[in-house]
Structure 1
Amino acid sequence: MDKIAKDVGDIQSRLLDHRPVINAEIRYFVREFEEKRGYRECRLLENLNKMVMETNEQMVPTDVEDMNKQLSDVIKRLEAANHMAERVQQRELEAQQSNQLQTNLEQLKEEWAEFLKEQQRLKEEVDAEHARAVSEVSTRYSEKKKDLAKFSLM
């Protein structure tokens, strides 16, 4: 039974235990990159890091000052452009309002002319009605006068 347990343990370790294979791969990887290449990538990365740090130390302060100057110039230009755009917009609004006022004035003149025509027509109607009433009253008055003359002669 011990032999069977030992054989089962060996089979299990071969099938399920991957540590020896992984360890071999790790050793190969380390040997490939550290021993064969002689830390070449590490030295390159360190050199690049050093160059970047030196560049940051030398270039960043002057670049930041230049960028601040340029940004302030850009902001001034943008403010000037914004001011000019506001003036153009204001002029357009004034022109539009002037056009609107002109249109309203013309419309009011037309409405006033129509109102005067209507008043003239109404005046003529009232005058015609008045003339009819005067003629009716005159006719009645003349008839009454004739009747009165007949009665006074009798």
Structure 2
Amino acid sequence: MDKIAKDVGDIQSRLFDHRPITQGEIRYFVKEFEEKRGNRESRLLDNINKMVMETNEALPNCSEGMHEHLCDVITRLEAANHMAQRIQQRELEGNQNTQLQASIERHKEEWEEFLKEQQRLKEEVDEEHAKAVGRLSAQYSEMRKDLKKSSPF
């Protein structure tokens, strides 16, 4: 029975006791990072730290310069925007003037056509009037002749 208890104990320690495996992994990890790589990571971290410090020192100067240049750029952009709006307004007014001129020309042409039509209608009315006056004159002269023939005096 002792042998069985001892075998069960060995099996249990192998199955449930992970300390030897964990210790082996820890030793491998320490050996990998401390012995093989040396101080490479430490040097890299120091270099990164130096770069961060330099960046922190240069950052205020950069942000101040950026602020100055951005103010100048904003001022120039506003001026350019204002000029573009003025050019657009002038172009719009030019288009309106062109449309106005075209409308004036069209109205002049329509007025000339209207006057020509009125002149033609006037001439027709004058012709009809002249014909009517001629007819009436002829009719009255006929009536006078008839009146003279029929009158004893």
- Which bracket does the TM-score occupy, shorter chain normalised? 0.7 to 0.9
* Paired AA for residue 121 in structure 2: L
Distance 1:129 1:29 in 2: 126
Q: What is aligned with 2:8? A: none
Go from structure 1 to structure 2 and tell me whether the alpha carbon gap of 1:59 and 1:151 turns closer, same or farther (over 3 Å shift): same
Q: What is aligned with 2:90? A: 91
Q: What is aligned with 1:108? A: 107
Deviation at 1:150, TM superposition (A): 2.3
* Paired AA for residue 140 in structure 1: Q
Go from structure 1 to structure 2 and tell me whether the alpha carbon gap of 1:117 and 1:25 turns closer, same or farther (over 3 Å shift): farther
* Paired AA for residue 132 in structure 1: K
1:32 aligns with 2:32: yes
Go from structure 1 to structure 2 and tell me whether the alpha carbon gap of 1:25 and 1:124 turns closer, same or farther (over 3 Å shift): farther
Q: What is aligned with 1:14? A: none
What whole-Å deviation, never above 9, does each CA across 1:106-137 have from its counterpart, x for those lacking one? 22221111111111101101111111111121
RMSD over aligned Cα, in angstroms?
Answer: 3.0
What whole-Å deviation, never above 9, does each CA across 1:73-110 have from its counterpart, x for those lacking one? 00001111111111222222222222222222222221
User: How many corresponding residue pairs?
Assistant: 139
Distance 2:129 2:27 in 1: 128
Distance 1:128 1:53 in 2: 107
Segment drifting more, 44-53 vs 137-146: 44-53
Q: Flag structure 1 segments of 5+ consecutive residues without an equivalent.
A: 1-9, 11-18
Distance 1:96 1:135 in 2: 58
Structure 1 segments (4+ residues) deviating >3 Å: 22-31
Distance 1:153 1:116 in 2: 55
Distance 1:151 1:110 in 2: 60
Distance 1:124 1:25 in 2: 123
Q: What is aligned with 1:78? A: 77
* Paired AA for residue 48 in structure 1: N
Whose RCO is larger (CA < 8 A, sep 6+)? 1
Distance 1:28 1:103 in 2: 93
Question: Normalised by the size of structure 1, how large is the TM-score?
Answer: 0.73
Q: Map of 1:1-154 to 2, 5 A cutoff?
A: 28=28, 31-41=31-41, 43-153=42-152
Distance 2:137 2:43 in 1: 129
Question: Normalised by the size of structure 2, how large is the TM-score?
Answer: 0.74
Q: Flag structure 2 segments of 5+ consecutive residues without an equivalent.
A: 1-10, 12-17
What whole-Å deviation, never above 9, does each CA across 1:12-53 have from its counterpart, x for those lacking one? xxxxxxx9xx97778656532343112422x13421341233
